[in-house]
Amino acid sequence: MNPSHRFGRRSFCRASLALAASLALWQTGCSQNAGHNAVPQGTPTIRVLLLENQKQVELSAIAAPTVHVGSDSAGQQLRFSPGVSAPILLSPTGWKVGSAQLPRGELTIEQSTDGSVYVAKHAYHGRFRFVPAGPDRFDVVNDLDAESYLCGVLRSELFADWHDETYKAQAIVARTYALYEARTDGVGRHFDVYTDQRSQVYGGIDAESDRSRRATAETAGIVVAYGPPGRETIFKSYFSSCCGGAGQSAADAFGDPDTPALAAQNHGACCIHSPKFNWGPITIPKAELTRRVRAWGAFKKQPIKDMAPLMRIEIAALNQFGRPVRFVITDAKGAHYVLRSEQMREAVNTEAAAGPKIFSSFCKPLDEGANIRFADGHGYGHGVGMCQWCAQSQAANGYNDEAIVLGAFPGARLVRAY
């Protein structure tokens, strides 16, 4: 580690026009939130799926919100008794919010003051959309500006006492990830990101802290991008808790296109202070693994859903730093199923309930008769992109946020998106 690797802010603050243009279709010009960070002009909106496939959700408010259904532009105010929640339900004939009856369609609730409406007892910035998902079921989506969204992400992703530079690095990476998701997976559906590890963890206003708000404000609009100078574009800036000393590429982990910025890296003992730097052994019965792997195969529509009882899990390939990137599962009929590293981890952990799980694919599965023992485990998560425990270690050793981010994504640079 070399804490002298610092980068001047001017290296990216003036090199932003190309990316800003590519983000233009997202820009919504969100207003400022009272009592919250000022929102930069042209900040994009992030659409967060708070709840899915609900039959009933409890609402409460400390100030009367306005509700719209479909293209109704006038709307009407909803009155809530202080401290009393009201259920919202959907039927084939329309919505019921407390005692109010409303026609069927996408229902939007606009807060009269930021954070004044509580959805399932939690407060959020922005507005809420209730999107029909069936005759009597619906999704709840929180639309808010990207900067307010980040304030509720950082404290959910990092420990409260971690370094300010770690928080700022996480803000840059999480901002890039969210904008990329909005530009790709979010197109053609009614939300951009989930609230959990399927995207990144978001807890709304309840999850904010002074440190998360400060880190968001001090990096406002800054993203990590890759490409020829002046033509940089954002990419899916993955991050995980602990790489265990050696990361893997996005191509090996997820089958993504091979991108230099998301290449495998050898971090050595940088994240050794993580309690999951070393883990195991973890033993799981083969009968249980068979059930889990079949369930994963059925969900993913993979041939492995019809496998015979599992007999062995073996490492099929290592990357240049000795981290497993391919596994082969052999069943009782001798059929072989080759899985990428993260497919194997997902399959082993599917429908695990309270049973044992593996923390990463950086491990060695061993045949023990009726069981598989996962030994020599390292790290927590997929190990692609920025390692959060490495980022914290680097911050403690004098690295600033820019050095942390650019060290995690080789050949990338920081630019201002808005």
Report the alpha-carbon distance of residue 115 to residue 128 in Å, rounded. 11
Calculate the CA dihedral of residues 393, 394, 400, 406 and round it to 10 degrees. Answer: -120
Report the alpha-carbon distance of residue 58 to residue 118 in Å, rounded. 8
The conformation of residue 305, written as its DSSP 8-state character, comes to G
Report the alpha-carbon distance of residue 124 to residue 25 in Å, rounded. 24
Phi/psi of residue 21, nearest 5 degrees: -65, -40
Q: How many CA atoms lie within 13 A of 68 on its CB side?
A: 12
Distance from first CA to last CA of the chain, Å, rounded? 32
- Single-letter amino acid code for the residue at 135: P
- Give the residue ranges of DSSP H helices in 51-163: 146-157
pLDDT for position 71: 80
Reported pTM: 0.88
pLDDT for position 2: 39
**For residues 88 and 61, is the Cβ–Cβ distance under 8 A?**
no
Residue 250 is encoded by which pair of tokens? 């996005």
Closest to 282 (Cα-Cα) out of 160, 366, 394, 190: 366
**For residues 360 and 345, is the Cβ–Cβ distance under 8 A?**
yes
The conformation of residue 33, written as its DSSP 8-state character, comes to P
Mean pLDDT, 10 residues at a time, over the chain (418 residues)? 39 38 32 56 94 96 92 81 89 92 94 94 97 97 97 96 98 98 94 95 96 97 94 96 98 96 97 97 98 98 98 98 98 98 98 94 98 98 98 98 98 95
pLDDT for position 36: 62
Residue 316 is encoded by which pair of tokens? 């099929």
**For residues 260 and 226, is the Cβ–Cβ distance under 8 A?**
yes
CB atoms within 10 A of CB 418: 22
From residue 391, give the alpha-carbon distance in Å to each of 57, 175, 402, 403: 38, 16, 11, 10
Report the alpha-carbon distance of residue 364 to residue 280 in Å, rounded. 10
Residue 271 is encoded by which pair of tokens? 């994240």
Instruction: Give ∠ CA 244-246-249 in degrees, rounded to 5.
Output: 120
